[in-house]
């Protein structure tokens, strides 16, 4: 009996995933590699890493991509240093003949500061807390998008994915965090507006609660739950039903493979909505709870008891989020008039 051929919808597409040593970036890089993309992935050198040594490394992620038949290029890059970022894009341009089809802005170095300042008001933190959260995050995403657009626009095609979160919709963690995520989503809207005439798509992607390596380490449970303003029990319950990092990766593959992706430009997209649209599930065959479900939205806002009266399948329509500055089709339609 002949074996099934592997479907690789992104065969020979060139992708860059920033911050791919572990967590969401790792899951995205693995799925892009499995889909056939040539994956450039970045991370800090081990000597500069903020994370525990027992967690996956950039080399391990690259090796796993290759072991699964993919093509990976791991590059050490400190995304707080502009010259290293410039050199990264110059290398891709030279090695791939000016091609870059997919950029995923995922690099983020703010977790240690979020944990350190958990529970504090903004005036109780040193003002440099802002830089810890938004330098490798908002600022770097702008720089990377600029360099990527210079490669994509002449080709008339490309996809920029900015990893964001519902922290732009409701208070989460801290003032710098929420402002940074809101700014990323606004940046997505305005970049999408400018890039659309040139055939380049720019979107924000909101994962829900994600089961990352850091979050699942028992030693981090108290710190993470405190940073999120949750009890340890609530944190454990959320973690038990959380999406995996590769579920986020499948969402990126779905977007990158969509021939009509330009219609999605300038907007926020939720991983579970994309799972429904593109027909994928998580690694365990289950689709995680949708953030847009009425129950999940109310729980996120802190109305846990009230949320229980709503079934999981009951969803908020996008129009109910109209107060958000970038999410929603109505705003984008007005801009295009």
Task: Tell me the average pLDDT across 257-285.
Answer: 93
Which tens digits make up the pLDDT trace of 199-216? 999 999 999 766 555 555
Which tens digits make up the pLDDT trace of 33-90? 999 999 999 998 876 555 555 556 899 999 999 999 999 999 999 999 999 999 999 9
Encoding tokens for residue 316? Answer: 């908020």
Which tens digits make up the pLDDT trace of 214-248? 555 544 555 555 555 555 555 555 555 677 888 99
User: Under 8 Å CB-to-CB from 1, ≥6 apart: which residues?
Assistant: none
Q: Using 50, 70 and 90 to split pLDDT, how confident is the model at 335? A: very low
Is the pLDDT at 251 greater than 90? The verdict is yes
Taking the C-alpha atoms of residue 15 and residue 104, their distance in angstroms, rounded to an integer, is 8
**Cβ proximity of 168 and 185 under 8 Å:** yes
Q: Using 50, 70 and 90 to split pLDDT, how confident is the model at 2? A: very low
Taking the C-alpha atoms of residue 186 and residue 183, their distance in angstroms, rounded to an integer, is 5
Half-sphere exposure of 20 (CA within 13 A, CB side): 36
The reply to whether 177 belongs to the active site is: yes
Residue where the block lists tokens 């400018």: 194
53-67, 169-183, 317-331, range with the lowest pLDDT: 317-331
Q: What superfamily in CATH does domain 14-290+325-336 come from? A: NAD(P)-binding Rossmann-like Domain (3.40.50.720)
Taking the C-alpha atoms of residue 295 and residue 305, their distance in angstroms, rounded to an integer, is 10
**Cβ proximity of 280 and 234 under 8 Å:** no
Taking the C-alpha atoms of residue 144 and residue 103, their distance in angstroms, rounded to an integer, is 8
Taking the C-alpha atoms of residue 92 and residue 217, their distance in angstroms, rounded to an integer, is 35
**Per-residue model confidence (pLDDT) at position 35:** 97
296 vs 57, more confident: 57
Q: Which of 76, 142, 177, 278 is catalytic?
A: 177
**Cβ proximity of 316 and 297 under 8 Å:** yes
Triad 40, 78, 108: Cα angle to 5°: 85
């Amino acid at each position: 009996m002949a074996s099934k051929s592997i479907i690789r919808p992104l065969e020979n597409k060139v992708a860059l995933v920033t911050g791919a040593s572990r967590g969401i970036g790792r899951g995205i890089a693995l799925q892009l590699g499995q889909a056939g993309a040539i994956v450039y992935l970045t991370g800090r050198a081990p000597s500069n890493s903020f994370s525990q040594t027992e967690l996956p490394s950039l080399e391990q992620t690259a090796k796993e991509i290759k072991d699964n038949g993919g093509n990976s290029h791991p590059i050490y890059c400190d995304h707080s240093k502009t010259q290293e970022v410039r050199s990264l894009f110059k290398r891709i341009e030279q090695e791939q003949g000016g091609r870059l089809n997919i950029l995923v802005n995922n690099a983020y170095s703010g977790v240690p500061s979020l944990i350190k300042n958990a529970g504090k008001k903004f005036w109780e933190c040193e003002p440099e807390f802002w830089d810890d959260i938004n330098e490798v995050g908002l600022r770097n995403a702008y720089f990377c998008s600029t360099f990527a657009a210079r490669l994509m626009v002449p080709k008339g095609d490309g996809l920029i994915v900015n990893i964001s979160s519902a922290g732009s919709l409701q208070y989460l963690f801290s003032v710098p965090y929420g402002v940074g995520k809101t700014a990323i989503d606004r940046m997505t809207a305005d970049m999408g507006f400018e890039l659309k005439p040139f055939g380049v798509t720019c979107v924000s992607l909101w994962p829900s609660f994600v089961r990352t390596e850091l979050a699942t380490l028992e030693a981090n449970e108290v710190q993470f739950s405190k940073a999120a303003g949750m009890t340890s029990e609530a944190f454990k319950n959320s973690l038990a039903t959380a999406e995996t990092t590769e579920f986020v990766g499948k969402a990126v593959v779905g977007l990158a493979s969509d021939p009509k992706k330009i219609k999605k430009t300038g907007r926020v997209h939720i991983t579970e909505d994309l799972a429904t649209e593109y027909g994928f599930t998580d690694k365990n065959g289950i689709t995680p709870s949708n953030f847009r479900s009425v129950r999940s939205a109310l729980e996120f806002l802190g109305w846990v008891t009230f949320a229980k009266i709503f079934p999981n399948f009951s969803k908020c329509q996008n129009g109910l989020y109209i107060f958000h500055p970038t999410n929603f089709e109505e705003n984008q339609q007005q801009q295009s008039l």
